[in-house]
Amino acid sequence: MLRDAATETALPLIGIYEISKVLGSTLDMDKALHDVLNILSSYLHMRHGAIVLRDPEGEALEISAVAGMSLKLARSGELRYPMAAVAKVVQTGIPMVVPDAADEPLLAEYIAHGQGEDDEPVSFFCVPIKTTGKPLGALSVERSWEGGVRHVFEHDLRFLTMVATLVGQTVGLHHKVAADRGRLLEQNARLAKQMEEVKPAVPVQGLEDIVGNSEAMGRVFAQVQQAAPTKATILLRGESGTGKEMIARAIHILSPRSAKAFIKVNCAALAESVLESELFGHEKGSFTGASAERKGRFELANGGTLFLDEIGEISAPFQAKLLRVLQEGEFERVGGSKTIKVDIRLVAATNRNLEEAVAKNEFRADLYYRLNVVPIFLPPLRERQGDIPLLAMYFLKRFNEENGRQLTFSAEALANLQGCFFPGNVRELENCVTRSATMCRGAVVTEMDLSCRRDTCLSSVLWNIQRPANPPVAPIMPSAPPPQPAPQPAPPMVAAAPPPPPPSAAAIVPPPAPDLTEADLSERERLVQAMEKCGWVQAKAARLLGLTPRQIGYALKKHGIEIRQL
């Protein structure tokens, strides 16, 4: 007798355990609910059971799973399932326990329709399925009186209430997952549509491949369209990776010379002797290996456009030769004496501060004035952050076309890219997108697929080591060099004050930091010292300060330390 009592006590616990295993083992909601009813049938010896749930998009109730009867017949109404009684339980949130279902008007027709030959009395249980909000549905169970003996229903009601709570938690979780999945699919569809519609902000021939709708790029587009139809020499200024070659090609396409050749030369990639032959050509036998006459780039570009990239890197002797061609429009081939006249449109580009180079006698002033006719300054990517999502989607679209994939960006990934510093500008962004897309294992490039979120982006270290001391800026050239003050001897035992910086250095001095309290200044200095000690690697500095990478990222932003790409 004691063993029977212990068994009766253990059965509900075993049933709860089995039901929790079923609900947590599959994502198929219909199968999980059907298995729950089968377990209840085993432990409660129930005749029929059903789970009714609300429609996630409305208030309608629908039978989701049944046991001991046909789901199709139950849904069609042929079995007379008492939806009115269940709806009352769902509406009030109060369980219904009917010892003899035949005595309840809401159940009489259903019980009479389903009774078999034994004609035993049937009890009906219906408990709401809910968690913390309004009920999501109801769980109903029918039990026959074994031998005509009425049961004590408190234990069954308590057990069914616990089961309904487990079912409610699972159903609520599935609804939330389905809603999140729907939002994600909608977001991906919207981003995919945006990627298909990525176009340049200015739909002008020649600018189709230049993506950007920021105010800074709008000024560049306007300058290009204004200057391209003329014959004026154009000097493109800007950091490496800002798209100077694409702008040069756009200038050629928008000019009257678009039907002629567009010839480009990277002056920094060739030695002086080779560069001279490349630009001016050479006669047969002019040097070892010159087995035939060869036209230079100036001749090939005759009537068209010649683009000289990295013009600030050419040597002083070659600068004089180039100046003559630009002034007179004529030259001689290497080893030749015949003067050749050409008609070209010159577009040059550099990332150097030519004004400082002229001041240091590293670049000829007369060549500088010949080149600097119409300067166009291309903004770095950090000054046009609104263009980063468009550029990122453009590069991802091109990656998909080249590799046969269908990747999209999550909104969080695009927001994270937009907050990065990108010292390598558009070229670095393109590499970042390609790297993230290549290593992405799913269909969506998420925030955690980006190198900066895994502390594997080393551009911050490179920026700290190779920070340009002379970025190209709009020149402010005085008419004459300012007089230098006579040096004053320092008094004995007192160190002389450092000399003031030259005028050209004014453009590269960072703006003064905002006024900080003593406590803020101390914390900011500790951050800077830790970052410098760790080579500007965020993860190492975080470990040194006892912080997490996320915490140190917030601290850097709080104090205005320009490491926004981390």
Per-residue pLDDT at 288? 73
What's the average model confidence in pLDDT over 14-32? 82
Per-residue pLDDT at 58? 61
What pLDDT digit, counting tens, does each position of 87-126 carry?
A: 999 888 899 988 888 888 888 788 777 655 456 778 889 9
What is the token pair recorded at 290?
A: 């010159």
- Taking a C-beta distance cutoff of 8 angstroms, is the pair 88, 98 a contact? no
Per-residue pLDDT at 521? 46
Q: What is the CB neighbour count within 10 angstroms for residue 32?
A: 20
| CA 276 to chain centroid | 45
What pLDDT digit, counting tens, does each position of 273-298 carry?
A: 788 888 888 888 777 777 788 888 99
Q: How far apart are CA 189 and CA 182, in angstroms?
A: 10
Q: How far apart are CA 338 and CA 333, in angstroms?
A: 8
Of the two residues 485 and 144, the one the predictor is more confident about is 144
Q: How far apart are CA 216 and CA 54, in angstroms?
A: 54
Confidence of residue 304 (pLDDT cuts 50, 70, 90): very high
Q: Helix or strand or coil: residue 95?
A: coil
Q: What is the CB neighbour count within 10 angstroms for residue 323?
A: 17
Q: Which residue, chain included where needed, has tokens 């449109």? A: 345
- Taking a C-beta distance cutoff of 8 angstroms, is the pair 409, 392 a contact? yes
Residue 43: which of 21, 78, 19 has the closest Cα? Answer: 19
Lowest mean pLDDT among 265-269, 410-414, 435-439, 514-518: 514-518
The pTM (predicted TM-score) of the whole model is 0.51
Per-residue pLDDT at 204? 55
Per-residue pLDDT at 400? 93
What's the average model confidence in pLDDT over 424-452? 90
What is the token pair recorded at 266?
A: 């990277």
The one-letter amino acid code at 5 reads A
- Measuring CA to CA, how many Å separate 499 from each of 293, 359, 484, 494, 502? 56, 18, 11, 15, 9
Per-residue pLDDT at 198? 52
Q: How far apart are CA 378 and CA 427, in angstroms?
A: 14
What is the token pair recorded at 342?
A: 């050409």
Work out the mean pLDDT of the chain and round it to a whole number.
79
β-pairing, 96-98 vs 262-266, is unpaired
- Taking a C-beta distance cutoff of 8 angstroms, is the pair 282, 292 a contact? no
Burial class of residue 192, CB neighbours in 10 A (0-12, 13-18, 19+): middle
Per-residue pLDDT at 35? 87
Lowest mean pLDDT among 61-65, 149-153, 231-235, 429-433: 149-153
- Taking a C-beta distance cutoff of 8 angstroms, is the pair 386, 529 a contact? no
Of the two residues 525 and 433, the one the predictor is more confident about is 433
Confidence of residue 250 (pLDDT cuts 50, 70, 90): very high
Strand partners, 308: 265, 348
What is the token pair recorded at 199?
A: 């176009």
405-410-416 Cα angle (round to 5): 120
Burial class of residue 386, CB neighbours in 10 A (0-12, 13-18, 19+): middle
Residue 46: which of 137, 150, 155, 124 has the closest Cα? Answer: 124
The one-letter amino acid code at 299 reads E
Strand partners, 306: 263, 346
**118 DSSP assignment:** S
What's the average model confidence in pLDDT over 293-310? 91
CB-based contacts of 179: which residues, under 8 Å, 6+ apart?
Answer: 56
249-252-255 Cα angle (round to 5): 150
DSSP 335-373: T---EEE---EEEEEESS-HHHHHHTTSS-HHHHHHHTT
What pLDDT digit, counting tens, does each position of 508-530 carry?
A: 334 444 444 434 446 777 888 88
Identify the structural domains of the chain with CATH numbers, from first to last: 2-179 (3.30.450.40), 215-379 (3.40.50.300), 382-457 (1.10.8.60), 516-566 (1.10.10.60)
Ramachandran bin of 546, using left for φ above 0, alpha for ψ from -120 to 50, beta for the remaining angles = left
Q: Helix or strand or coil: residue 177?
A: helix
Confidence of residue 301 (pLDDT cuts 50, 70, 90): very high
Angle between the 518-533 and 538-545 helix axes, to the nearest 10 degrees?
A: 120
Q: Helix or strand or coil: residue 263?
A: strand
What is the token pair recorded at 153?
A: 């229903």
Beta-carbon-side half-sphere exposure of residue 479 (alpha carbons within 13 Å): 0
What pLDDT digit, counting tens, does each position of 205-222 carry?
A: 566 678 888 888 889 999
Strand partners, 129: 137
